[in-house]
Amino acid sequence: MSKNHALSHSVRPQRYSKAARYARGQGMTEYIVVLALVVVAAIGVYSFFGKTVRTQMAGVAKEISGQPADQQIRQAEQAANTASSTANQNYGLGNYDEGTHSGN
């Protein structure tokens, strides 16, 4: 009889208090906000260094397939140099689009 009683007790649904549900919802909201900030930062970095990352990944893919990737390596170096010179320029609200479009 005690086994059945213990089993029925463990199958019962958990009832959370209103405060516990609120805390759980608050934690999820904070997680979503942090995740959104990380995604926005990643999009910004990728838009700035996008061409460099794409050419490096193309070079890695060629090397994995056994083909030489000299051209992709040179393109990645050129894109990195362009990104570096773009990063050294001053941008404001008046010319922000120049910096975002230079990385392609």
Domain-located, residue 7: no
70 within some domain = yes
Q: What is the largest CA-CA distance in the chain?
A: 78
d(C-alpha 10, C-alpha 7), whole Å: 5
User: How many domains is the chain built from?
Assistant: 1
61 is a domain residue: yes
Mean pLDDT by 10 residues, the chain (104 residues): 53 63 79 94 79 82 86 84 75 67 54
104 lies in some domain? no
Domain housing 32: 19-87
User: What pLDDT does residue 34 have?
Assistant: 96
Say which residue the tokens 């001053």 belong to.
90
- Domain-embedded: residue 98: no
pLDDT score of 61 = 86
Q: Domain for residue 53, yes or no?
A: yes
Whether the full predicted model's pTM is greater than 0.75, yes or no, is no
**What contacts 24, CB < 8 A, 6 or more positions away?**
16
